[in-house]
Structure 1
């Protein structure tokens, strides 16, 4: 490129204080969700398909001494197909956080089932594959669950990945390794979905 040439606008990036979380800002919907879990009423493991709506909104900078965290508050809610007008079967709220100085992303999440997880991993500012991992007992990226679940479906490990596919599409996978008393075995409770942006939080957007 010569000194007189101007780069294409798509080649120019703003400060992107949210780092790798930047593409997630907005409201998203996905209709191809698949949940694999143990169904207590049927005493069997099976699949459930679902519709999901997610929202990611920026929060102000969070300061812990010299540490600065930028992030999003978020919610993800899912309805079984055929029950979209009824109560959701899955609901979670939390924060996604970016620690630029230490190259870490975090997912601080509470599930409506009485589960709280702080998960995270190393990340670079423009990563498009984001990993959130946690395990019981880890002082930084750990897992808490209510006593009933601890006794009957103890979480042994949590892994989740967000993949930014393009400007208006992302997918995720989630895996809870459970120790099930009902079966006397361990099983992977998994979820996956692909979501598309349906609203932008942007002053020039018709969806604002």
Structure 2
């Protein structure tokens, strides 16, 4: 990935601006209907758009609002199986990236990462009960698939793509065991938010 010039107001989030697609997604999860853990491959679209500077007293945050939607392969013309919306915020003074995300399953997570402005890898982490980087879930999920931890990584690759990976640690009532629900996909940019008409 060529070096991005300029002031880097968005810090390590700078490369994300634009619309993205990825067709090599792999989801590993528990399939309730079949009572098995298995893989699902998927197509995904994502959009990252800058927001106005946010100010909390002396704190100044630059950031992006974003959405990520995924369809199982073979179901692209149907209802997506995954939908999330959220914000990615850069706190330059604290060297923190904050990922605030809501999943359409009744889950809300605020995860954090310590970063430098031009880092190529962002590691997010959240834990239940943490007052800053924590996890909320609806009552049914707390009983049936308790979310006990969340980690996620964004990696900016040399070819201009970015790869996202996530790991949700779940305690499943159906099996009595703890499992890792993982996702991974590599995204390529299909639209720039830029005065240039260039498509990357």
TM-score above 0.5: yes
- Equivalent residues in 2 for 1:58-73, closer than 5 Å: 58-73=50-65
Matched, 1:20 2:9: no
Q: Report which of the two structures shows the higher radius of gyration computed on alpha carbons.
A: 1
CA contact (8 A) 1:80 1:88 kept: yes
CA contact (8 A) 1:116 1:144 kept: yes
Matched, 1:137 2:129: yes
- Runs of 5+ consecutive residues of structure 2 not aligned to the other structure: none
1:103 is matched with which residue: 81, 88, 95?
95
Q: Which runs of 4+ in 1 moved over 4 A?
A: none
Q: Does the residue aligned with 1:37 lie in a helix, a strand or coil?
A: strand
Q: Does the residue aligned with 2:157 lie in a helix, a strand or coil?
A: strand
Aligned length: 198
Report the CA distance between 1:12 and its aligned residue. Answer: 7.5
Matched, 1:47 2:39: yes
TM-score, reference length from structure 1: 0.93
Report the CA distance between 1:53 and its aligned residue. Answer: 0.2
The aligned counterpart of 2:70 is 78
Separation (CA, whole Å) in 1 of partners of 2:154 and 2:124: 8
CA contact (8 A) 1:119 1:132 kept: yes
- Equivalent residues in 2 for 1:1-208, closer than 5 Å: 13-166=5-158, 168-206=160-198
Root-mean-square deviation (CA, aligned residues, Å) is: 1.2
CA contact (8 A) 1:162 1:171 kept: yes
Report the CA distance between 1:132 and its aligned residue. Answer: 1.0
162-171 vs 111-120, greater mean Cα deviation: 162-171
Separation (CA, whole Å) in 2 of partners of 1:206 and 1:102: 34
Please list the CA deviations of residues 130-163 of structure 1 after superposition, one character each: whole Å capped at 9, or x if unmatched: 0110000000000000000000000000000000
TM-score, reference length from structure 2: 0.96
Q: Does the residue aligned with 2:98 lie in a helix, a strand or coil?
A: strand
Separation (CA, whole Å) in 1 of partners of 2:141 and 2:197: 44
Separation (CA, whole Å) in 2 of partners of 1:12 and 1:181: 47
CA contact (8 A) 1:33 1:50 kept: yes
